[in-house]
Amino acid sequence: MSTYISGTSAATLTLNNSCPYTIWPAISTNPGSPNPPDAYAGFELPSRALKTLDMPLVGWSGRAWARTLCAGNGPGNAFTCATGDCRTGNIYCGALPSAPVTFIELNLADVSQGNTNDSYQVSVAAGYNVPVSVVPPVGLGCSVASCLGNVNAVCPEKLRVVGDGGKVIACMSACQVFQDPVECCLGEYKGPTKCKPTQYSQIFKRACPMAMSYIYDNAYQYCKGGSNYLVTFCPGF
């Protein structure tokens, strides 16, 4: 199953759902960035399905993620998700999600600003719900960004989000749970020289060594502008 939205593109994002269940991907555009079509803001993606998004605007930057365990279909029956929910009551997001969620962060090149490279990373700094990988084109010497480990399986009890039947469906960040300046890199711990990995962020890092595990853990990869990326949720499943 594949849906292709055509147009003149700076890059294409092909979203591949390898999870053994339906997900509802969503995309949020950063403030000041040009907006892609509204339909990109949220949609259903069945297991083993693909959806290719033409990103028609040079210089776009934003985030993508998977929502899981969703139900409802609008007014009178609000659309909600157990993880990654946007709190809009609609399948179309238009807002950043509630943590915890595994983020894909992407910044497309803008030659007019002297930037010829795309940058991208996977982040678990806001917690984790599903594994994900971002694979650039072969032959350009660009690196994969990913979180391949099952963080839910090693999530400390205090950070667990538990669904029906007692199953761990997501893992919160220690910042979200404890509101501790040490974990949140705030106050006297604000800044890359003052904020260091903690025992909790290191759990995420061990499970996903190529992902951003806390706010100053830069895991960005770079690739020639205009490249096309394969984003796979639950790679290897």
Rg of the Cα atoms in the chain: 17
Contact 182, 189 (CB under 8 A): yes
- Name residues whose C-beta falls within 8 Å of residue 82's C-beta, 6 or more positions apart in sequence: 68, 69, 70, 161, 163, 169, 170
Taking only the tens place, the pLDDT of each residue in 160-177 is 999 988 999 999 999 999
How far apart, in whole angstroms, are the C-alpha atoms of residue 170 and residue 96?
17
Confidence (pLDDT) at 79: 94
**Model confidence band, residue 8 (pLDDT cutoffs 50, 70, 90):** very low
Confidence (pLDDT) at 233: 98
Domains in the chain, please, with CATH? 2-151+209-233 (2.60.110.10)
Check the CA dihedral 195-200-206-209 and report its sign.
Answer: negative
Flag whether pLDDT at 3 surpasses 80: no
First-last CA distance in the chain: 18
pTM of the model as a whole = 0.92
Taking only the tens place, the pLDDT of each residue in 181-230 is 999 999 999 999 999 999 999 999 999 999 999 999 999 999 988 889 99
